[in-house]
Structure 1
């Protein structure tokens, strides 16, 4: 599949053909045994999946669930969305704090295209789906995969991290695409892309949880063998003093002493020079707590225009 340069300067296949079958089976079994039960994983409706994909862009998945369900309650079909006033759709997007209102406009326009140009039927291929407004290569491939089982291998940041760590795939977009495509079983894009993205989100995050999450690829994983968990989005670990690791630890200690804190009350407790609009302010702190939320350590919620953080129970 992928290749890693040996000490002699030659390249050796990281996985043999026989190993590829074992790797595939291990990942699919792990995913099908237990995975996060997001509601859009229980549907093959391309409209519902498109809504979830658009909402998930730069928004935490836990926050998307409530917004996705509310959106579909209001506009349950692509016809209903196409018939809606665009201002209502944008207003909903704003009320749900989903950000980037142009995504709401594009989603509404895509619904109009489906009903007006495609006779109410979604295109089924990644290329066909990219004819819809606001649908790029990644989203088109995701909808084709999850709705029609007709996609290519998904290659997002999580997948790159997994392939880089596990099999030594070079930090090169073409190499990631090649390796991901060779590893995905033919005609199984739905389960495979869900599974490998779940692996990257649950077990192989920036802070890996190999044993805790029961990573199914530990027996083959180069990073697990060597203890080197750097990746394209995870550079060599910096010095601890003044590092993100240090402030993450402080956040967890402070939240352990309080039920819940708004960011602007949490900030001064972890950094004396915290100012909401400063260099080390609200946006800097939000990045730290969102990383902790991604790692399953912290829960975030919005209340009266404020972001509140608490330890995950």
Structure 2
């Protein structure tokens, strides 16, 4: 359910940029997400350290690389070169060889990481820079990586805005699909002095509860009461324009219908459609006619009841 009227807080309009509306109860929004994250989250070794070197290694490895490949490579890399000084003293060919053997892609990342370690050793007297601006002085470290290291190592970063965060902001608060709007919203939401836990929490939300296929109920999303997508059933997002290909069979969608109706006494047919696939449009290829075919199958099996009334078509599970 989305807030309305004076329940919104608007940011970004005074300087001529596109206005972004967020819930007025920002402290409740912040605390609910942090509480959700701290109660239970995925455990990764890079979340258990505040060592800027280890965090930089993780961030560089994670660029366009699946986390299931990053974890073993990250642990092996730190076992081989446990400090920035150790990496700086290493032969670059060994570092590149490690990168290639672990299928981390783009070997120039290994070269840049090695050179960054040398910079820390030679130009910064072995001490990592602490701010995003200073961290960008390191070879191969752009704004995103610099901010991530500042956030997770020193709790001194700005809001991290990656694909997961954009998806969350777009769905939850209707943030327009523009980098400027996402930056505005993310910065407004960030609680002062808590970039470490906040950035971890909002990325976790996008990775666990608000993925391309949302798991709002299963993961207990803490933003359901404010979320536009949850209220409307429209879970499209900038990186989710159509239904993921692996969710294509009629059997899968019949299962989704039953699982969805278990949570509700009754749903209008279009609300049901939006909740079972992100590209549902009433008059489209995957619209009411397509959905009615699935419901007919389930009705024949004695699982659902479809009611045509003055208030439209409504669907429920049979008792």
Bucket of the pairwise TM-score, normalised by the shorter protein: 0.7 to 0.9
In structure 2, runs of 5+ residues without a counterpart are 1-8, 12-18, 253-319
Query: 1:62 offset after TM fit, Å?
Result: 2.0
Query: 1:112 offset after TM fit, Å?
Result: 0.4
Question: Cα deviations across residues 120-168 of structure 1 (Å, max 9, x unaligned)?
Answer: 0110001100000000000000000000000000011110100000001
* Equivalent residue in structure 2 for 1:172, among 175, 178, 182: 178
Aligned to 1:69: 75
Residues 66/163 of structure 1: CA separation in 2 closer, same or farther (3 Å cut): same
Query: 1:13 offset after TM fit, Å?
Result: 4.0
Q: Greater Rg, structure 1 or structure 2?
A: 2
Residues 138/248 of structure 1: CA separation in 2 closer, same or farther (3 Å cut): farther
**Residue 123 in structure 1 maps to residue 123 in structure 2:** no
Query: 1:37 offset after TM fit, Å?
Result: 0.5
Contact 1:79 1:115 in 2 (8 A): yes
Aligned to 1:154: 160
Query: 1:191 offset after TM fit, Å?
Result: 0.2
Aligned counterparts of 2:242 and 2:65: Cα–Cα separation in 1: 27
Q: TM-score, normalised by structure 1?
A: 0.73
Query: 1:14 offset after TM fit, Å?
Result: 3.7
Question: Cα deviations across residues 178-235 of structure 1 (Å, max 9, x unaligned)?
Answer: 1100001011100000000000000101111111111111111000000000111111
Aligned counterparts of 2:210 and 2:90: Cα–Cα separation in 1: 41
Aligned to 1:205: 211
Aligned to 1:39: 45
Matches within 5 A, 1:180-219: 180-219=186-225
Aligned counterparts of 1:64 and 1:170: Cα–Cα separation in 2: 32
* Equivalent residue in structure 2 for 1:245, among 221, 244, 247: 247
Question: Cα deviations across residues 243-280 of structure 1 (Å, max 9, x unaligned)?
Answer: 55328999xxxxxxxxxxxxxxxxxxxxxxxxxxxxxx
Contact 1:2 1:167 in 2 (8 A): no
The alignment's C-alpha RMSD in Å is: 1.9
Aligned to 2:228: 222
Aligned counterparts of 1:244 and 1:2: Cα–Cα separation in 2: 38
SS of residue in 2 equivalent to 1:105: helix
Question: Cα deviations across residues 76-124 of structure 1 (Å, max 9, x unaligned)?
Answer: 1000000000000000001111111000000000000000111001100
Aligned counterparts of 2:61 and 2:200: Cα–Cα separation in 1: 17
**Residue 136 in structure 1 maps to residue 142 in structure 2:** yes
Query: 1:60 offset after TM fit, Å?
Result: 1.2
Contact 2:20 2:185 in 1 (8 A): no
In structure 1, runs of 5+ residues without a counterpart are 4-10, 251-313
Aligned counterparts of 1:149 and 1:38: Cα–Cα separation in 2: 18
Aligned counterparts of 2:249 and 2:77: Cα–Cα separation in 1: 36
Aligned counterparts of 2:162 and 2:146: Cα–Cα separation in 1: 13
Residues 230/116 of structure 1: CA separation in 2 closer, same or farther (3 Å cut): same
Residues 247/56 of structure 1: CA separation in 2 closer, same or farther (3 Å cut): farther
Aligned to 1:269: none
SS of residue in 2 equivalent to 1:205: coil
Aligned to 1:93: 99
Aligned counterparts of 2:214 and 2:119: Cα–Cα separation in 1: 42
Contact 1:203 1:210 in 2 (8 A): yes
Residues 249/93 of structure 1: CA separation in 2 closer, same or farther (3 Å cut): farther
